[in-house]
Structures are given as C-alpha cells and as structure tokens.
Amino acid sequence: MDSAAASAIPRGQVDLVDFVDWSGVECLNQSTSHSLTNALKQGYRDDVGLHLESDADEQLLIYIPFTQVIKLHSVVIKGPEEEGPKTVKLFTNKEHMGFSNVSDFPSSDSIALSPDNLKGKPVNLKYVKFQNVRSLTIFIEDNQGGNDVSKVQKIVLYGTTVDTTNMKDLKKIEEH
Amino acid sequence: MVLEATMICIDNSEWMRNGDYSPTRLQAQVDAVNLICGAKTQSNPENTVGILTMAGKGVRVLVAPTSDLGKILACMHGLELGGEMNMTSGIQVAQLALKHRQNKKQQQRIIVFTGGPVKYDKKVLVAIGRKLKKNSVALDIVNFGEADNAKPEKLEAFRAAVNNNDSSHIVHVPPGPNALSDVLISTPIFTGDGDGGSGFAAAAAAASGMSGFDFGVDPNVDPELALALRISMEEERARQEAAAKKDAEDAAKQEKEGEQASSSRDVTMADPASGSAHQVSEKKNELMDDETALLQQALAMSMDDTRSSGLAMGDANMSDTTSDGQELAFALQMPVQENAKDSSNQSEMNRVLGDQSYVSSILNSLPGVDPNDPSVKELLASLERDSEQKNKEDKPDDSGDN
C-alpha cells in the first residue's frame, strides 16, 4: 500500500469516531496537559501540535465505549518514531480495566506497531474477534524507543456498525 | 460535589497511646475520621467511605466503602492499639478496596493518618506514589504525632509523586490544644478541593465552638443573636490577644523604653489610618515596632515602672466595646482595635485626651498604677500638651477641609 492508500478509508468501513460515547471515555496514566481527546477527537487528532502523552510511566490504558454495537476492522495509530507505541493490546467489552488486570485475561488482539504503522498505515485486526464490540480497551504496553513517556498523535478506528450493516455491505467486506 | 470513593487508613500503632493530642492520639484520629465521613457523605450523598487500620496484627479493612454513616461510626468502636504502622500494605489494600468499588464512576481517594514514625525510604514511597497516580487515585496525608527529621519531607515527596492536578494534599498537625479535627476542618482535605464541603465545614466549625460563616447563625434569620455572637467573639479575641501580647513583651520591654514618647504620638496619629491590630501582615513594619513599643509602655505603666513616659491614651476611645475595669486595662494596652474610622476618631481622641477627669479615672482603674506617682502626673501633663498640639493640628485640617 502506498501512503495515499494508507490515509484512505478501507472499503466499506467507516470512521467510528462518530459512534464513540464521549461521556464514558477514560484514559489511565495520561498526562493532564496531553489528554486522550488530542488523539481521538476530530480536529484535535489532526493537529500536529496536540498529542496524547503518558504520565507516570510509559503505559497507557484507554477505554472507549461506543453508542452502539460495532464491528471493528482496523485501526490506525500514529505517533512519533521514538515515543510512539510498540506493543498494543486490544480488549473488547471489558469495563473499567486497570493496569493490574491487563494480564488477567487474554487480549482480543495484540499488535506490534512498526514505524510504518506509526506513519499512518492501518493495522488490520482479527475481524472475527471484533464482531460485537460495545466498548474497546486499548492497552499501550511500551513504546518504540523504550522511553519513559509514550506519545500518541492520532487514533482512528475503522469498522462498521451492526445496525446499519446490510447484505450489500457484507458482501463488500468479504471481497476485501 | 465530586463523586468520590474514599478509603481512610487509620494508624492504630503503639504510638497512638500518647496523649499529646487530647485525649489520646487514637481518639483524636477517630474524631477526625468521623468528621471527614460526615463531610464526604454530605457533600455528595452518593459518596462512599471505607475504613481500614494499618497497625495491630495486620492491615484490616473495618468497613468497605459505603455511604452508610452509621456503619462507619459503629465500626470504629473498640479499636485496639498495638504494633507498628504498615503504611505500604495499608495503601495497597486501600487501593484494592477502591478498585472493587461498586460504582465505578466514583473518583478514588485515600486518606492516610500517619501518627507513628515512617520507616520506609523515600524511594519506596515515591514508587508507590507513582503507582497510585497511574491508577488515578488521589492521596491525602495527615501528618501528626511523631515528628522526626525526615518524616515531613518523606511525606511531602510521597504526596508530590501522587499529585495530579492538585488533587492530593498533605497536612502537618503539630501537637497542641487544638483538636486534630478542628485543624483539619480548614484544610482542603475537608473542603474537598474548594467546592462542596465548605457548607459542612462551616456547620462543623460552628458546632465545635469556632465561628465560621455568619457565626453559625444567619443574620437574616436572627440578627440580634448574630450581633451578640459577633460582639462577644470580638471581646474574647481582644482578651486573648492582650494576654498573648503580654506574654510576648516581657522579654523585649527593656530596650524599647527610650522610643516611647515619639512612637506613642506616631501611633495615635496612625491609628485612624490603619485597620485591625494583630494582623501583622497588614501593617507596615514601622507601625508594628510602634505598636510593640506602645504595648511595652502600657505594660510598664501598669507595672508601676518609673521609667515609662508615654502612654497610649489614644486607646481610651477604643474601649467602647468593654465596660469593666479589667477589660479597660487590656483595651488600653492594645495599640489599635478593629474598625478605626478616620477623622471622627481623631477628634474623639482629642476630646478624650483633653478630658482630664476621664483620663485620671482610667488611670485609677489600671492595676498597679498609683495616680499620685510623679511619673503619672508628668504623663498627664504631657498628654495635655499632646492634646493641645492635636487641637492645633486639627484646626488647620478643619480649615483646610472647609
């Protein structure tokens, strides 16, 4: 995929930022001046000056509930080369996780981000595991450079909503 | 009105038997905890509070976070003292208890009472602090009891590690006549970061005998009672201040004798322009020196010291709030009282000073002052001269005003 395609929305998917339930969004260990909205919200996430930063150490735990059930197809996580995330684990439908129970159950998917991904290349997930997602927990375990602080420029989630899925769309996804 | 779940860690180690906070340190803690629980539940009915003890056989959770105040108060009966405080385990258990709170929307807070010595390294504490910050748990530390050199700074470092956006606080309570709970009432631990708890704090303050907002009585509802309370409070404050000043002056009295004559005039002139007496920060330093000088004069006078020459007669007009002789003496000893009005005071003073009989009656009532003492007579004479001078000064002022 060239870089132009990297920023294009995968076929049949929508940007799920419209379905995020902002009242329940939480992020543990974020620095107060660099919060999750900088990476997630429309407008903020495209602003190069605004990013999400971790506080006490390099791990981040992001909890994103959705207003309706969705299927998650892929994610884009952009960040700087050194402090951008490396190992990212995704958990579905687990409310209020803490750093102590990230290892209690297996993640729905675990991705290792490459520098390409950090530039904007989407990571395709194990789609079967993300069929019925009410809430998503993103656990950023460490960063590329092994620094004390992790920085995330942008997080974009691509997928479809369950309600609006119709047969036509399903077909398109299967072709993908 | 922050929705919060709080775990309070009580120190019930052997050090809590000590009586330097009355009646015992443990009892002082329990009272403070009761007040805190009340404040938290009142500021938001959905707040929950839990209690655990850190010493004794081991860390023990007495009650899990609940909003039922009765349960919380009941569980603190029959607390046993013993052992050493295990702060790290206590905080970890508190964190666990908060993690499993029923309402996940509540913010997490731990309040630790550290009465005994803190045997942990600063590093260990800072590491724990960062873990708390990572899990967005706020921490309040009440440092009282044992005070060794490193303890306050260790705890400060601990608080700094946890602190996120000023949500964590530390309070150092030295031993003294004030109860632990009274000292805590005015701290952010109680007032909950500014909002919410202040109403409860005021009520609690009124209940404990101190005057808080509106003296605990709404002036609209009962103006006479509010007024009576305010006046009696001012009288009490005047009494206490005078007693405190008397103690403070005994040492330095000797050196100040010489400056008295000039300084008395300065002070009486400056009286109308200044505000209340003991808020030293509000006065200029010069004035403070004059005040102390003045007080020393008065003290010297009352002690029948022949070397004194000036007396703050300007204070005579300040005695309007008091009536009996003792009160008068104290009021005279104070340089300035609150509510000094401007020009009206000045002319009042002149009238008072000029009234020889009034002055001598005041002198008579001063304990230890003999009106036939030559120095006193000298003083009266000088005051008459003063009042004449002031009259002369007043006249040009008046003509200037016209």
CA A10 vs CA A121, A123, A156, B3, B395: distances in Å = 11, 11, 12, 42, 94
pLDDT by residue, tens only, chain B of 402 residues:
789 999 999 999 999 998 888 788 898 899 999 999 999 988 899 999 999 999 988 999 999 999 999 999 999 888 889 999 999 999 999 999 999 999 888 999 999 999 888 989 999 999 999 999 988 899 999 998 888 888 999 999 999 999 988 889 999 988 888 788 888 888 877 776 545 444 554 454 445 444 444 555 556 667 788 788 888 888 988 888 888 888 878 756 655 554 454 444 444 444 444 434 344 344 445 545 666 667 667 666 766 544 444 444 444 444 444 444 555 545 555 544 444 444 444 555 556 555 666 666 776 676 665 656 667 667 767 766 665 665 555 554 444 444
The interaxial angle of helices B343-354 and B374-401, nearest 10 deg, is 140
Nearest Cα residue in chain B from A59: B134
* A146 Rama class: left (phi>0) / alpha (psi -120 to 50) / beta: left
Rounded distance between C-alpha atoms, residue B116 and residue B96, angstroms: 23
Q: How high is the pLDDT of residue A34? A: 84
Q: Indicate whether this complex's ipTM tops 0.90.
A: no
Q: Which residues, in sequence order, are CB contacts of B320 under 8 Å at separation 6+?
A: none
Report how far apart the first and last C-alpha atoms of chain B are (Å, whole number).
Answer: 57
Helices (H) and strands (E) in chain B, counts: 15, 6
Give A152's DSSP letter: E
CA of residue B46 relative to chain centroid, distance: 32
The 10s digit of each residue's pLDDT in A20-38 is: 988 889 898 888 888 888 8
Residue A146 is predicted with a pLDDT of: 85
Nearest CA in chain A to B135: A28
Residues of B in contact with A56 (CB under 8 A): 130-131, 133-134
Q: Give kind and range of the element (H or E) at residue B6.
A: strand B4-10
The type of residue at B271 is D
Contacts of B110 (CB under 8 A, 6+ apart): B6, B7, B8, B9, B91, B94, B95, B98, B132, B137, B138, B139, B140
Which of the pair, B261 or A148, is modelled with greater confidence?
A148
Question: Which residue from B minimizes the CA distance to A57?
Answer: B134
Predicted model pTM = 0.61
- Paired tokens of B396: 């040009």
Q: Convert the pLDDT of each residue in A37-64 to its tens digit.
A: 888 888 888 888 888 888 888 899 999 9
Residues 6+ apart with CB under 8 A from B230: B215
- Is the pLDDT assigned to residue A127 strictly greater than 80? yes
Vertex B289: Cα angle to B283 and B290 (nearest 5):
90
Closest CA to B190 of B165, B215, B214, B173: B173
Chain B residues interacting with chain A (CB cutoff of 8 angstroms): 99, 104, 130-131, 133-136, 164-165
E strand intervals along B45-91: 48-53, 60-66
- State both tokens at A44: 């903020």
Contact assessment for residue A93 and residue A130, using Cβ atoms and an 8 Å cutoff: no
Angle at B345 between CA B343 and CA B349, to 5 degrees: 125
- Joined together, the tokens standing for residue A86 give 């490396």
**How confident is the model at residue B220, as a pLDDT?**
64
Which residues in chain A have Cβ-Cβ distances shorter than 8 Å to B100? none
Q: Hey, of A55, A104, A149, which one would you mutate to test binding to chain B, going by the most B CBs within 10 A of its CB?
A: A55
User: Cis ω on the peptide bond leading into residue B65 (within 30° of 0)?
Assistant: no
d(CA B137, CA B129): 9
